[in-house]
Amino acid sequence: MNLDQVKAVVTGGASGLGLATARRLIASGGKVMLLDVQDEAVKAAAATLGAAASYRSCDVTSESAVESCIREAAEWMGGLNLAVSCAGVATPGKLLGRDGPLSSAIFTRVLAINTVGTFHVDRAAALLMQNNAPDSDGERGVLVHTASVAAYEGQIGQVAYAASKAATVGMVLPLARELARFGIRVVAVAPGLFATPMLAGLPKEAQDSLGTQVPFPARLGRPEEYAELVATICTNRMLNGTTIRLDGAIRMAPR
């Protein structure tokens, strides 16, 4: 897929990895619809990107809302060939915490946003992509999941988050195998420690300390580096059915 032909939806597009991805795609001539549950933030984000961007307020846990927003995105862009799922939460909680057992409602909410939300996007996007005209390799679209190194090395207090991201990874290969007949690729990115809103609430000293845990480069990842990998996934058609760690060689400790 040539980047100047990209017509994308990006969830979690108001900030962090999603906004950086939208900015990268638009810089190469693509068009992007930002989807985010934060109404004012996503509106403001789209305004910074110019005429090649638009936005919709969208709760990815709602199947009907995702379907509607992705359909509207395709109508506005004149098609859809890329869906990047960046919407997510990292609500911490131990199974047996100081205040008692972890609430099943908290566990379910994290999976609803991170995993089921990604499924909703895949489902609605693939439904439209299957009807795209194929390119010279028969490609019609690309689905990108945002996983996490927590899928492999979940820390204490990350039972919900790690489960949600492991499931996001687990979806990739079966979807890639199923959608191959339509020419739709599926790839996940598993970031390590990145400078996103999830970490922004920490003091700078704490952020710097986390960065030094990364073997190389010894710093937090930048959203632009995630965005650059998404661009590479778009252009390299042999990337399919896999999860790519983007983590500076970090392997998370138990806590």
> Is 226 marked active-site?
no
Question: What is the CB neighbour count within 10 angstroms for residue 107?
Answer: 18
DSSP label at 112?
I
Q: Which of 147, 132, 150 is nearest to 77 (CA)?
A: 132
Classify 108 as helix, strand or coil. Answer: helix
d(CA 58, CA 189): 22
Q: How far is residue 202 from each of residues 193, 196, 210, 219, measured CA to CA in Å? A: 13, 11, 10, 15
DSSP label at 194?
B
Among 55, 152, 161, 226, which one carries the catalytic annotation? 161
d(CA 249, CA 195): 16
d(CA 160, CA 158): 6
Check if the beta carbon of residue 80 is closer than 8 Å to that of residue 73: yes
Give the position of tokens 């700078």: 204
Q: Tell me whether strands 100-101 and 96-97 are parallel, antiparallel or unpaired.
A: antiparallel
Kindly list the catalytic residues: 161
